Amino acid sequence: MLKKFKEYKKLNLKSISKEITQYWEKNKIIQKSFQFRKNLNKKDRSSYHILYEGPPSLNGSPGIHHTVSRTIKDIFCRYHTLKGKIVIRKAGWDTHGLPIELNVEKKIGITKNDIGKNISIEKYNNICKYFVKKSMKKWIKFTNKIGYWIDLKNSFITYKTKYIESVWWLIKKLYKKKIIYKGYTIQPYSPAAGTGLSYHELNMPGTYKKVKQITPTLKFKAIKSTLPKEIQKFLGDIYLISWTTTPWTLPSNTALAIGSDIDYVLVKTYCPYNFLKENIILAEKLIYKILLPNKFYSVSNNYEFDRSKIENKNKIPYYIAYKFKGKDLFKSRYEQLLPWFKPYQEENNAFQIINGDGYVNENEGTGIIHIAPTFGIDDLKIAKKNNIPSMLILNEKNIPIPLVDMQGKFLNCYPHGFSGKYVKNDFNTNINTKLVSVDHEIVSFLEKEKKLFKVEMYTHFYPHCWRTEKPILYYPLYSWFIKTTKIREKLISLNKKINWIPKFIGKKRFDTWLKNIRDWNLSRSRYWGTPLPIWRTKDGKEELVIGSIKELFLEIQKSIEYEFMSYNILENFIPDDMRDENYEKIDLHKHFLDKIILVSRKGAPMKRESDLIDVWFDSGAMPYAQFHYPFENRKYIDEYQFFPSDFIAEGIDQTRGWFFTLHTISSLLFNSIAYKNVLSTGLVLDKKGNKMSKSKGNTINPFELIENYGADAIRWYIIFNSEPWDNLKFDIKGIDRGINKFFRTLYNVYSFFVLYANIDGFSYKEKDCSLKNYTELDLWLLSELNTMIKKVDESYKDYNPTKVSRIISFFVLDQLSNWYIRLCRRRFWKEEYTNNKIVAYQLLYKCLITISKLLSPIAPFFSEKLYIDLNSITKRETFESIHFTNFPIYDLSFINKELEKRMLLVQRITTMSFSIRKKNGIKIRQPLKKLLILIRDEKIRFELKKISEILKQEINVKNIEFMESYNDLESVKYIQPNYKSIGSRFGNKTPIISEIIQKFTQDKIKEIEYKKKYIFFLQGEKFILFLNDVKITTEFIKNWSVIFDNELTIALDLHITNSLWEEGVIRELIRYIQELRKKCNYQVIDKIFIYINAIQRIQSIIQKNKNFLCKETLAVDYFF
């Protein structure tokens, strides 16, 4: 029995996803895909396409935004598989770091301070591991459901011992290059998270938030005897006024910075709080920002100032008494603003006026900057340059500490009730953040101390922790750093070798970031992460960096000899045994490693530096650690087999995250780029363009979405709706539109094909028909098909999947469904199985099978289903899956650009004709007498005449005539001057020229319309009128409707004769009967009887057209 193509009652993408998932699982299709094309030359790097997976942080469930990058990566892996490549795509999981720890703390109800006290570090780390394993299951489920084919079985996991060992090896190599160092510097620090942050973390999108806070202008009393003599002579106290946005740092002030060549002034005025006379110093250019005109006014001399009185608090006089350069004040001193503490060392150098060139400006504030070296990066630089001490005091252990602890609280030794208070309310989880802040309290205290000159609320952007979303502090920390500044130029140079999509991300955003790079803070004072493999003596004079477990094993043996260790806790580990079961015997996390004491060369005990490694280094190490390099698979990296990657794709936020760390590590250690092509995806926003968040209630559950719509619909929406690098306003209604417009149309094309193919028994057993049997329409579709293949291939190569989807969509909707099939329906209706019909079947089959392959990277489930349904009957290919096939190859000999242009013109004419019908309320089924087409190009007219029958059929007219000029169509033209144009060109001659234009004859109007210009002389002077200098309107004879589209003009005869009307009635009746057949679920070949109730005139029309009616509706007979 002849097998038939499968027919379906309706499209259901959700059930297709489930069916194909089962097919893949049953036949192990995904597993086979990772071994596919392994018969190629494995030593040839060009045989491979390497994807590096940006490992998602397993700190919870995947969100809707994760569908974007996973879809993008999957698309290009599938594309390169079709193109004959061996595609290497290992899954990876980022299992360490702050996001995971914070989630665990929240879930089990603890804070960082509880770890090691109320819960052991080992137990805490085991909970973290349990949490990430649980999260990994959700991610694997999501990965499978969205159709992302990646090697999950051999995935890299950052908490695994082998992975950590590779990271250690990288750290040791950096250390040997003298690129790693330990320093006590000011770093971004998150009290809420309890750890320092790197600068790339501080520059993640959304970390800078707008805040409004109190900002005082303060009076620092100068020690008069240290000032220049010219200033000392002024009577009364002299104050340097300084503005700050961080009042909580004022107890830590140790200097005031000014600009050497900035002009400063001594101003006599009144304090706006107590209205006492005062002498203040500030930058001259900033007087009007401090002494605001609505409150202060200037007097011209000292006499006038001395005689002035304050009659209104908003009318305070001031007088500029003396001008000088900033350098005149260097080394002058002032009284400590809040004399609560003294620096533990070099106190005599504190509280000076110092050179702040390069830091002080005249844009805001007072031109005098308060310096607190313990809480400012630039403050510390300037302080060190001028030998100014930081405000550090000694604790009970005689260790110098800052005045704020690591929880963000003032030390308990603070006077005046400030002890133990949080410097920002955000750090205190037990209070309402709207309560009075420490900043307000300090300002109030200073006001009572008569040290406040002015106060205001100020709005600016302040950095926040990327995970806790709470403010950071710039805080003094002992940290280990990577000296990335040393290779700044190399990073910039290598970046130029990377193909960024879009270009501006690499050329501007990433390049700018690299130019302003700072040393990478590698240290994290947390518990769950890759431990820093550095052991140090107590005095810090000796240190050892461990680069492998074997090395650690041997060092422990030495330590046992010195009796620092009683036994080797790695005794069950077998060095050089690379089996997974050997590595699973040990756990290289903090709770394990901190038990190990090593011995220095001089015989001193060494303990491990307590910090962990920045989790971004973990993920940046994946090109090497995923293969356990260099302990295994050395050739993958050393011989550049799997390095660098051909492609990576993640969100825009990774520009200063994973993209940066990959680039930095590969540049530092291998003098190479880590990736050749990188696509940076935009943000996923809600449909109104707002950021999605649980608190706003505008998040979308991806699992529910996939369950409701199927993965293909979501993938198509993401790709088709906007280019990957643009932000996506996610609107669920758009998914429905994609299903209805694209997938349903393609499904209908398939349904149309199989309906008639099954009737005729077509299964592509015949040889391919010769092109001689192809009609003009067939040749056009063949040309468009090959053009599409070419364009799609080029767009995939350019990493533009959106362009791919739109090219395919245009072909399916406009070329195939709305044009070719509509014009070819009658070929399929015919009962004879002729070459003409076989050509149509073969061509339509080729279109469907080609579309399925081109579409398969974007919509893998639907494409697989379409391919199986087609190929299972024809057996033309032996592939088990569409994803194992080869990418279609276009044939240039089939591409006929002239034919494509010609057909495009036909389509334009058709659209214009339909527009006329719609405007005049005439249905397309109503035949009309004549269409006139104005085409001046003789060649195009000749070519159009070849397919005039197609035009007649599509437009539903009896005759088509071609015009060479408007003379062929009776009309009257009217011309008016375009005053805006001629006025600007001809000036005072405009009235005369306007009169000449209005007297143009019909011939002159047609001349300017045809030649696009008209030359004439006026009083011996030559003038040229262009087409845009005039406005031409045309009125045609009755019953004709005309429409223009650039160079194309058509006219449709709207007069409907009686015979035309009768034919229209029959066509409308046929349409109605066909609808009834469809509602009754009749098959295309089913014969019917028709019963008609109609007036006598309609009955008469039916009788005249009996044969036509019965043939079109497959009616045996009809009855009235």
Enzyme catalytic residues? 55, 94, 616, 654, 658, 691, 694
CA 205, 207, 213 angle in degrees (round to 5)? Answer: 140
Q: How many CB atoms lie within 10 A of CB 939?
A: 10
Q: How many CB atoms lie within 10 A of CB 973?
A: 17
Report the C-alpha gap between 857 and 801 in whole angstroms.
9
User: Phi/psi zone of residue 739: left (φ > 0), alpha (ψ -120 to 50 degrees), beta?
Assistant: alpha
Report the C-alpha gap between 487 and 147 in whole angstroms.
40
Q: List 463's β-bridge partners, or say none.
A: 208
Name residue 1031's amino acid: K
Cis omega (within 30 of 0) for bond into 502:
yes
Name residue 699's amino acid: T
Report the C-alpha gap between 278 and 270 in whole angstroms.
6
**Chain centre to alpha carbon of residue 1115:** 59
The answer to whether the CB of 249 falls within 8 A of the CB of 373 is no
How many Cα atoms occupy the beta-carbon half-sphere of 184 within 13 Å? Answer: 8
Burial string for 461-492 (b: 16+ CB within 10 Å, else e) reads eebbbbbbebbbbbbbbebbbbbbeebeeebb
Q: How many CB atoms lie within 10 A of CB 28?
A: 10
Which helix (H) or strand (E) element contains residue 153? strand 151-157
Name residue 101's amino acid: E
Helices (H), 57-120: 66-82, 98-108
Q: What DSSP designation does 589 have?
A: S
The answer to whether the CB of 701 falls within 8 A of the CB of 708 is no
Nearest to 173 by CA among 617, 644, 675: 617
Write out the two tokens for 686.
């809600």
Any residues with CB less than 8 A from the CB of 575 and at least 6 apart, and which?
Answer: 549, 550, 553, 554
**Chain centre to alpha carbon of residue 1079:** 47
3-state secondary structure of 343: coil
3-state secondary structure of 778: helix
Strands 1030-1036 vs 971-977: parallel, antiparallel or unpaired: antiparallel
Cis omega (within 30 of 0) for bond into 533:
no
Write out the two tokens for 422.
């949080």
The answer to whether the CB of 777 falls within 8 A of the CB of 826 is no
Nearest to 501 by CA among 196, 803, 851, 885: 803
Report the C-alpha gap between 710 and 14 in whole angstroms.
4
Report the C-alpha gap between 584 and 573 in whole angstroms.
9
Measured CA distances, 597 to 541, 560, 565, 721, 917 (Å): 16, 9, 6, 59, 91
Q: Please compute Rg for the chain using Cα positions.
A: 40
Residue 459, classified by CB atoms within 10 Å of its CB into exposed (0-12), middle (13-18) or buried (19+), is exposed
Nearest to 374 by CA among 480, 475, 245, 442: 475
- Residue carrying structure tokens 């004022």: 250
Nearest to 798 by CA among 76, 74, 86: 76
Nearest to 876 by CA among 763, 754, 782: 763
